[in-house]
Amino acid sequence: MAPISQDNMDEKGQRTAVVFNISKKEIFTPNNGFKSLNKKLRSNWKILIQKDEITEDRLANCKVFIIAGPREKFTAPEFEAVKKYVEDGGSLLVLMGEGGESKFDTNINFLLEYFGIMVNNDSAVRTSYYKYFHPKEALISNGVLNRAFSIAAGKTLPNMSEEDSSAHAQALTYLYPYGATLNVDKSAIAVLSTGSVCFPLNRPTCALHSSKYSKGKVAVLGSVHMFQDQYLDKEENSKIMDVIFRWLTTDEITLNAIDAEDPEINDYNMLPDTAKLAERLRSCLQENDDTPRDFNALFDDTLFKLDTTVVPKVLKAYDQLKVKHGQLKLIQPSFEVPLPALQPAVFPPEFKGLPPPALDLFDLDEAFSSEKSRLAQITNKCNDDDLEYYVRECGEILGVSNKLPSDSRNAKHILEHIFAQVVEFRKLNQEDSDSGRY
Predicted confidence at residue 347, as pLDDT, reads 79
pLDDT in tens, 94-106: 999 999 999 999 9
CATH 3.40.50.880 assigned to domain 6-268? The reply is yes
Contact 183, 263 (CB under 8 A): no
Contact 111, 65 (CB under 8 A): no
Predicted confidence at residue 437, as pLDDT, reads 47
Predicted confidence at residue 435, as pLDDT, reads 56
- What predicted TM-score, i.e. pTM, was given to this entire model? 0.60
Rounded to 10 deg, the angle between the 387-398 and 371-381 helix axes is 170
Per-residue pLDDT of the chain (438 residues; tens, 9 = 90+): 334 444 555 544 467 789 999 999 999 999 889 999 999 998 888 999 999 899 988 888 889 999 999 999 999 999 999 999 999 889 999 999 999 999 999 999 999 999 999 999 999 999 888 888 899 999 998 889 888 888 888 877 566 555 555 677 788 899 999 999 999 998 899 999 998 888 888 899 999 998 877 788 999 999 999 999 999 999 899 999 999 999 999 888 888 888 888 888 888 776 667 777 778 877 776 677 777 888 777 777 667 777 788 888 988 998 898 888 887 788 888 777 777 777 777 777 788 888 877 766 666 666 677 888 888 888 888 888 888 888 888 888 888 888 888 888 888 888 888 888 888 888 877 766 555 544
Predicted confidence at residue 108, as pLDDT, reads 93
Contact 174, 223 (CB under 8 A): no
Domain ranges across the chain: 6-268, 364-433
Mind spelling out the 3-state secondary structure of the chain? Answer: CCCCCHHHECCCCCECEEEEECCCCCCCECCEECHHHHHHHHCCCEEEEECCCCCHHHHCCEEEEEEECCCCCCCHHHHHHHHHHHHCCCEEEEECCCCHHHHHCCCCHHHHHHHCEEECCCCCEECCCECECCCCEEEECCCECCHHHHHHCCCCCCCCCHHHHHHHHCCCCEEEECCCCEEECCCCEEEEECCCCEECCCCEEEEEEECCCCCCEEEEECCHHHHCCCCCCCCCHHHHHHHHHHHHHCCCCCCCHHHHHCCCCCCCCCCCCHHHHHCCCCCCCCCCCCCCCCHHHHCCCCCCCCCCCCHHHHHHHHHHHCCCCCCCCCCCCCCCCCCCCCCCCCCCCCCCCCCCCCCCCCCHHHHHCCHHHHHHHHHHHCCHHHHHHHHHHHHHHHCCHHHCCCCCCCHHHHHHHHHHHHHHHHHHHHHHHHHHHC
Chain-centroid distance, C-alpha 139: 16
Contact 222, 174 (CB under 8 A): no
Predicted confidence at residue 413, as pLDDT, reads 86
What's phi and psi for 96, nearest 5 deg?
-125, -165
Residue in 25, 219, 243, 51 with CA at minimum distance from that of residue 147:
243
